[in-house]
Structure 1
Amino acid sequence: MRKLISRGIAIGAGGVAMVIFASTAAYAGTDVNATAYGAYGQFISNGDKFYVKDMLADGYAVRICYRVNNGSVHTLTNPAGYGTTGMWDLDLAEGSIVTIDVARTPDTCSPWAVGYA
């Protein structure tokens, strides 16, 4: 009888662990990055942060454009110059679809890259 009870506890504990892992994974976001001539951008899902780095000493600013759930396009611009990185900390709903692209200011943005908040 003792062995049956101890086995039942081990199985029960394993079942609880699986439920905890399954519910945690459902809320995991996805980071995404995009590159273009002279610009590198990133969306980091942990904290909903957007970054854009100016990688070319050409006098142009760089920007990161983003959409949430395929809505309106928003633009964040880093005018500080070569070697600098602009960072914006937003608060997006968990599970939102986030698409980004980057470019120097006179250029069109790169193809959209997709992540999840």
Structure 2
Amino acid sequence: MSSTPVWPAILKLDGDDELLFIASQSQFEDEATDMIFSDEDMLIDSEGTCFLLSMKSQKILLVPHTKQFDAIEVSALVQAHEFCKAEVCLTKIHFPTVREAIAALAPFKR
């Protein structure tokens, strides 16, 4: 388990199926400044490592969690995300790796 995320990653907010594609640490920092996070929000990196978000001294920290996501679990998150948008046939969404699942959410991918 790595102590720093392998980018790109996805941000999964608690109670919301929509995912945010995060390309880099700097993009995460830009996004984090405008958001209110809960204890259940998580960042999932390209290797499936889960990081919880923690606020310390007005800065959002990424804290490694013991949860490790596999390709099936990340594919399910992407399916739920796409279901919200109702633009893609869900039965066709499956990815052999976590990295490919996350990459599918990159802007302008379609």
TM-score relative to the length of structure 1: 0.26
Indicate the structure (1 or 2) with the bigger Cα radius of gyration: 1
The structure carrying a bigger strand percent of its residues is 1
The structure carrying a bigger helix percent of its residues is 2
